[in-house]
């Protein structure tokens, strides 16, 4: 009666569907959520396949969830059983210097459910139920589906990188390098924020078609075209904002090559420790401003929810596949395919 189905990762490439105990809200401010939808992030896939090595076994991954509150613990006043909620994967202490300044994703005393970053990792949402803290919950608006709600966290990251950090303005010429899931979200945020030119760069014809369908004014294939030459033909004044959402170091180098005076550039996609060169004098005189973005915050989550609630971003357009939890191994096979975007698991 008190057990649930979960995808438990015992080692790299050893993901098992098992019956495990349903978590209970034993601590102060804890809640248990019946998971309805959970997106698969690339970091989940990397952990399962052994590409990301900072994993302590056994663990349950999955950190893009939405669901219904099934139990609440002591001190929980803002949520009750039956509430439909969106879950921020990262928790925070609320008292350290970074938390007090709104940088909750820097909190060294925090935790993450189903993801990586902090040392304190709780079980995630590739399961029928998940425990978290009430501070991580947001009420789901009625007009947002559970599938769309599950993608609030990646959308919030796109908003944070594009709008809060790189400060994109209405009419800006924007280049997005890499238009997989996160690149498409950056592009959709840029479109909603009033980008003028919106150029997508990706070697995949599948990705370029998606970018065109979602509002790119132009697409460029870096495997057959001179990217810099083509961009400066399209926008002779050069890009106002460049977002690297691809991952490979070559994408970062491409971004650097596109800079003109005053360009804002955001190192978003790369997470590996690789190096690229900058000309000191040129960097000085360009006054190009570099930002980066990882994780999310309560403010970014709130902004992402507003984007969906007001139909400024139709996030379901980037969902390409849906699988039941019992078919999670098939879902992971599709994750390795070049022709997929966001994949949703239904526990």
Per-10-residue mean pLDDT for the chain, 347 residues long? 93 97 96 98 93 92 98 96 98 96 94 90 97 98 98 97 97 97 96 97 97 97 98 98 96 96 95 90 93 95 98 96 98 94 97
pLDDT at position 1: 62
Spell out the residues 6+ positions from residue 155 whose beta carbon is closer than 8 angstroms to its own: 185, 189, 304, 307, 308, 313, 315
Nearest-angstrom CA–CA distance, 123 and 44: 12
What is the pairing mode between strands 120-122 and 30-39? unpaired
3-150+314-346: in CATH 2.60.40.10? no
Cα–Cα nearest to 324, from 3, 2, 5: 5
pLDDT at position 272: 81
What strand order describes the sheet that includes 111-113?
90-91, 111-113, 120-122
pLDDT at position 270: 86
pLDDT at position 87: 98
Whether the CB-CB separation of 106 and 117 falls below 8 Å is answered with: no
* Record: fold of 158-292: Rossmann fold (3.40.50)
Q: Domain locations in the chain?
A: 3-150+314-346, 158-292
Indicate the pTM of the whole model: 0.95
- The phi-psi region of residue 287 (left if phi > 0; otherwise alpha if psi is between -120 and 50; otherwise beta) is left
Whether the CB-CB separation of 164 and 246 falls below 8 Å is answered with: no
Nearest-angstrom CA–CA distance, 60 and 47: 11
């Amino acid at each position: 009666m008190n057990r649930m189905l979960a995808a438990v990762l015992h080692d790299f490439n050893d993901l098992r569907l098992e019956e495990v105990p349903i978590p209970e809200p034993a601590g102060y401010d804890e809640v248990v959520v019946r998971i309805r939808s959970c997106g698969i992030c690339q970091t989940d896939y990397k952990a399962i396949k052994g590409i990301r090595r900072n994993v302590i076994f056994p663990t349950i991954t999955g950190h893009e969830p939405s669901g219904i509150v099934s139990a609440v613990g002591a001190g929980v006043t803002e949520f009750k059983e039956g509430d439909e909620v969106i879950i921020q994967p990262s928790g925070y202490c609320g008292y350290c210097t970074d938390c007090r300044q709104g940088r909750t994703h820097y909190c060294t005393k925090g935790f993450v459910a189903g993801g990586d970053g902090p040392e304190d990792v709780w079980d995630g949402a590739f399961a029928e139920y998940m425990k978290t803290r009430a501070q991580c919950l947001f009420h789901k608006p009625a007009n947002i589906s559970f599938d769309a709600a599950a993608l609030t966290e990646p959308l919030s990251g796109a908003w944070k990188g594009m709008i809060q950090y790189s400060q994109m303005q209405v009419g800006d010429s924007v280049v997005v390098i890499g238009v997989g899931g996160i690149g498409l979200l950056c592009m959709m945020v840029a479109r909603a924020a009033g980008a003028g030119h919106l150029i997508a760069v990706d070697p995949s014809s599948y990705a370029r078609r998606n970018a065109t369908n979602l509002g790119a004014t132009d697409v460029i294939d870096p495997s057959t075209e001179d990217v810099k030459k083509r961009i400066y033909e399209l926008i002779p004044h050069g890009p106002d904002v460049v977002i690297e959402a691809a991952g490979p170091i070559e994408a970062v180098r491409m971004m650097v090559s596109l800079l003109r005076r005053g360009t804002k550039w955001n190192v978003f996609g790369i997470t590996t420790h690789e190096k690229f060169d900058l000309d000191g004098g040129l960097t000085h005189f360009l006054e190009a401003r570099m930002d980066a973005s990882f994780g999310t915050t309560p403010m970014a989550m709130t902004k992402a929810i507003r984007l969906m609630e007001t139909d400024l971003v139709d996030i379901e357009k980037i969902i390409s596949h849906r699988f039941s939890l019992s078919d999670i191994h098939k879902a992971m096979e599709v994750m390795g395919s070049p022709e997929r975007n966001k994949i949703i698991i239904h526990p």
